[in-house]
Amino acid sequence: MKVLEIWRYPIKSIGGEQLRSVDVDQFGIIGDRRWGLVDDTTGLVLTARREPRLLFASCSLIDGVPVTITDEGHPLTTSDDFSRWLNRPVRLTAAGNVGGVYENPLDAEQETEWVSWQGPAEAWHDSGQARLSLVSTASLAQDHTTPWPFRRFRSNLLLDGSGEDGLIGSLVGIGTTRLTITKPISRCVMVTRSQPGLPVDRSVLRDITAERHGTLAVGAVVAQPGTINESDHLVELSPDDLPNPG
């Protein structure tokens, strides 16, 4: 497999930016999910599961600062900007050494019951075992006349080829970065949401549940920081390929 696209999402659940090259540290792609919107009423980090309007904006880093543009073309840079846009008091907050707390619907269709969970520190990913996410073109196209749109799943890397599910537990190299593929990524109602150019499609989650046991894409942790470039190939490695820390 090789890297077709690289995506970074500076603010959790808001659309991101496609890049040709990224640097990776121990917490994932530098700048990825390093900010979130904290709901002042609940104290919880908003996600598109709870606030679907987040999908109608995109964010890029400019000189290390997250700059967000709504689908209508309005710039959002401060907490007050986001609060007015969402009609609720929120704070744009950088991730720190304490992970955020999120909410998730138990019932993807009715969304009448919610659970909360603690995310990892330093970058607001859902799990400390998924600091990057990877999905292949084959998985998006599996058993479908029309492939699922990559944008619905917010993965960091789109890979040309197939076989990422079989790499769980393996060490892989992409560019100078070394990743340990840790887990399949469970999917929730967020993948069904409407966003620019994509209508609501509840069949996506139903099909993923029926055909793929509710998972699509794989998560990874960083075994060795480095750089990933578009067109880099994914190579399966052995633990001996990591430098000896001693």
According to DSSP, residue 54 is labeled: G
The whole-model pTM stands at: 0.90
Collect the ranges in the chain with pLDDT lower than 70: 103-117, 143-145, 244-246
The single residue listed with the structure tokens 């917490």 is 27
Q: Residue 203: how many CB atoms within 10 A of its CB?
A: 12
pLDDT attached to residue 127: 83
Burial of 233 (0-12, 13-18, 19+ CB in 10 A): middle
pLDDT attached to residue 124: 87
Q: What does the domain layout of the chain look like in residue ranges?
A: 2-238
Give dist(CA 158, CA 5) in Å, integer. 5
pLDDT attached to residue 103: 63
CATH of domain 2-238: 2.40.33.20
pLDDT attached to residue 117: 65
pLDDT attached to residue 108: 46
pLDDT attached to residue 189: 84
| Closest listed residue to residue 19, CA positions, set 33, 34, 11, 30 | 30
Which tokens in the block code for residue 115? Answer: 């659970």
| Closest listed residue to residue 12, CA positions, set 106, 91, 113 | 91
